[in-house]
Amino acid sequence: MEPPRPEPDDAVVMLVAQHRRLEELLRRLVGADAADTRREALHEVGDELALHVIVEERVFYPAVAAASTESVLLESLEEHLSLKRLLDDLLALDPQDPTFGPKAHVLQEQCEHHHEEEEEHLFPKVVLLLPQAHRLDLGREMLREQGRLRREGAPREALRRQTDAAEPLRSD
């Protein structure tokens, strides 16, 4: 018997796919040389990172908060704060500034580390804790929230106002 096919609306499957997309966008950002290309790539990274982080904090983390996930979620929230601060710094920089490239590289490294932590330590627990039907409902809720944020425009700007402290861990 074959294992069930992963559903694209499954919250965990969706988040992993977003991780891969962000990693690709970050590679483009780090590899960009021209100021206009860097600015365009940064805005795309910023918007995608914002959509991802915001739905994790507002929808996914509260839905999966449990004793067995709390320490991973608290660490993830601190990592999000670091990513928000780096993104804010980059958005404030001239793309020709000599620190732009190194700072973009640090953002890339921290994103990859964060993705690895979630995929190795959080997502396997979530798959065990939540039945697929619940993860599908959660994924659809996350898509609705991301759609709302896209309609409001420039999601990256929302993250710029969230750099003082990590978001508190909420639970449903």
pLDDT in tens, 63-75: 998 767 888 898 9
Listed by start position, the domains of the chain span: 11-160
Cα–Cα dist 52/42, whole Å: 15
The structure's pTM equals 0.90
Cα–Cα dist 52/166, whole Å: 15
Burial of 122 from C-beta contacts in 10 A (0-12 / 13-18 / 19+)? buried
The residue-averaged pLDDT of 54-71 equals 88
In CATH terms, 11-160 corresponds, of 1.10.357.10, 1.20.120.520, 3.40.50.720, 2.60.120.580, to: 1.20.120.520
Residue 1 reports pLDDT greater than 70: no
Eight-class DSSP state of 155: T
